[in-house]
Amino acid sequence: MTHQSLPRIAEPAVRPRELEILDQIRGIFAEKGFDGASMQELARAAGMSVGNFYRYFPSKAAMVEAMITRDLAEVEEKFACIAAAEDPLQALRSGLHARIAEGCSASDDDSAIWAEVTAAARRKPEIAAVVERMEREICGYLCGAFALVVGVARDEAERRFMSHARLAVALVKASTVQTGCREAVADPVQTALMQRMIDLILEEVCQAKADTKDRG
């Protein structure tokens, strides 16, 4: 699989000044929550007037979309590395294990923010839409990696393994959301169980490769 077979992000990259603002306001979001942080407090954290702040982010949904666009760019780079790896399956396994471990580790601002965003998505359709887009994009990347492992076209991988991709995304999401508070304590047993579930997903994908060879 070449890099071109990976799904591409249609949205433009987040501008450098927007990235700076996102870094400046993350602490406020983590501390006060999605609803608790006012636009005035966010603007103050970014060192600008409310009016100027609205020029960059007219709503909290716009901030979430920018965070997702930034994260998807990082995801794209990681999956490009997986596609170019000598052993893509092992690279994929290691990457997913690391992401689960990171999500299950002691809570930090990122975990708290994504826990807040996930909760807000249940109440606010505009937030749900951007979160669903992120999950859809990541499922597409996973199916692209599965296509490489099994040796099938990506559309065939999406047909056969989309449920596997969705479950992997759900596990990563759960690992982050459950530790999204400052009082959360890492549970190494739970981390290992989640990683084993990732292994089971990948084992099923590999079995499909073995079945394809047997039929050949």
Percent of the chain's residues with pLDDT above 70? 85
Entry pTM: 0.83
Q: Flag whether 124 is in a domain.
A: yes
Instruction: Give yes or no for a contact between 168 and 146, defined as CB atoms under 8 angstroms apart.
Output: no
Residues 159, 163, 164, 165, CA torsion sign: positive
Kindly state whether residue 9 falls inside one of the protein's structural domains: no
Give the CA distances from residue 117 to residues 67, 70, 177, 180, in Å, rounded to whole numbers and listed in that order. Answer: 10, 15, 9, 10
Lowest mean pLDDT among 25-34, 70-79, 142-151: 25-34
Number of domains in the chain: 1
pLDDT digits (tens, 9 = 90+) for 164-205: 999 999 999 888 876 555 455 668 899 999 999 999 999 999
Residue 175 lies in a domain: yes
Question: Residue 93 belongs to a domain with what CATH number?
Answer: 1.10.357
Own/partner pairs, 124-129, CB within 8 angstroms, 24+ separation: 124/61, 126/59, 126/61, 127/60, 127/61, 127/64
Is the residue at 49 inside a domain?
no
Instruction: List, in order, residues 6 or more apart from 126 with CB less than 8 Å away.
Output: 59, 61
Over the stretch 125-166, which tens digit does the pLDDT of each residue have? 989 998 999 999 999 999 999 999 999 999 999 999 999 999
Q: Is residue 205 part of a domain?
A: yes
Rg (CA), the chain: 19
170: domain range?
61-215
In a domain, 191, yes or no: yes
Instruction: Judge whether 91 lies within some domain.
Output: yes
Q: What band does 4 get if pLDDT is binned at 50, 70 and 90?
A: very low
Report if residue 179 sits inside a domain. yes
Position 187 scores a pLDDT of 82
